[in-house]
Chain A
């Protein structure tokens, strides 16, 4: 690793101020950033650890019934405490491995927006709101392509608000070495329609499969899932071709609909 200073502010306000320094970088649970630093793919001057900020940790239910998760909440805590949204708790409990889940955070995952990460699919399929130190961003506006988000420099995710669906499920076809999704599909059925979000497949990162949403909104059954989308623009690598991933999108959507509860 290149050398850097590390700071551990205990409030969002102090963290925002520390992130104002030249080449400062926020550190969530570090389960992606620390390996990245080891490979010398990043060279911040200051790392601002968000791990000591109590006000952005925890799970609660908001006045509107939405499940609110602090940006610094670990995957393990979400798995244990998000019982109001079982599909989300199950997703969190299947990220990485137990030791990774004890460190990695929902805010870190969403800020990084890895094209194969699980949480972006949940946030997009749920129409979640990403709350930062300065504003609220709808999930539909937040994800802007592979590793790209609407976050400004130095902006911190303080909370994520998930409207709780009638039924939902996440199905992940796991890449066994990394445990990231080769393809993951999150299906969420709300009173006003079904949302389907796909991770791991597209070169543009997480996306909504609108054809499936339309079909499932009128008939919520696995048989209603349309034929696989085109493989154009899908990730093609040693783990699978674009066409293979496109095929998996339909398969995992059917499984998610069948499993939704």
Chain B
């Protein structure tokens, strides 16, 4: 067992992990932060995306021990301090950017990473950035609309309409 200490959503946390404990297991099973989802467990689907030191990563494809000393942010850390939804989360609600909701935590975390680097993306850039996030309900159009809205841009009339 290895001792790890990291900052998760602004709070310092510690735990004992095995060498093969994935970051997603540490978040979900040790810290009980179950908002981070495990969809495929093969780094395809992106439901497990969290931010490590500000960068989007698939937490099913990183060991907890590798996050020792890191700043980690999960979907539980996305809301505003007063508990209201962040701009991106609110946009997902306003534009019906979720159906079953399983992929949503990863979608929101990827969207936040995109908008940090590229605050006014084009629709094509949004779609390109989300290539590692799969929505099994195929609800992509409204997810793209939500992210465009969250970036303060006009929501495009997407191809499906």
Chain A residues engaging chain B, CB cutoff 8 angstroms: 1-6, 8, 27, 30-31, 34-35, 37-38, 46-47, 49, 51, 76, 96-100, 102-103, 177, 179
Given A35-B42, A49-B65: A4 and B57 within 8 A (CB)? no
**How many residues belonging to B are interface residues under a CB distance threshold of 8 Å?**
28
Count how many pairs of residues, one from A and one from B, have CB atoms less than 8 Å apart in the complex: 76
A35 near B43 with CB under 8 A, answer yes
Residues of A within 8 A of B129 (CB): 98
In the assembled complex, the Cα of A34 lies from the Cα of B64 at a distance in Å of 12
B residues 42-79 touching A (CB-CB < 8 Å): 42-44, 46, 49, 55-58, 61-63, 65-66, 68
In the assembled complex, the Cα of A199 lies from the Cα of B47 at a distance in Å of 30
Tell me how far the C-beta of A98 lies from the nearest C-beta in chain B, rounded to whole angstroms: 6
A2 near B20 with CB under 8 A, answer yes
In the assembled complex, the Cα of A100 lies from the Cα of B49 at a distance in Å of 10
Closest-by-CB residue of A relative to B17 is A6
In the assembled complex, the Cα of A177 lies from the Cα of B129 at a distance in Å of 15
Question: Is B132 positioned at the interface, with any CB of A under 8 Å from its CB?
Answer: yes
Given A3-B18, A38-B41, A102-B55: A96 and B132 within 8 A (CB)? yes
Question: Is B101 positioned at the interface, with any CB of A under 8 Å from its CB?
Answer: no
Given A35-B43, A35-B61: A98 and B132 within 8 A (CB)? yes
Residues of A within 8 A of B133 (CB): 97
Question: Is B110 positioned at the interface, with any CB of A under 8 Å from its CB?
Answer: yes
- B57's partner among A8, A103, A177 (CB-CB below 8 A) is A103
Residues of B within 8 A of A179 (CB): 131
| Binary contact track B107-126/A, C-beta < 8 Å → 1, others 0 | 00010011000000000000
B62 near A30 with CB under 8 A, answer yes
In the assembled complex, the Cα of A35 lies from the Cα of B41 at a distance in Å of 8
Residues of A within 8 A of B55 (CB): 76, 102
Most chain B CB within 10 A, of A27, A30, A97, A179, is at A97
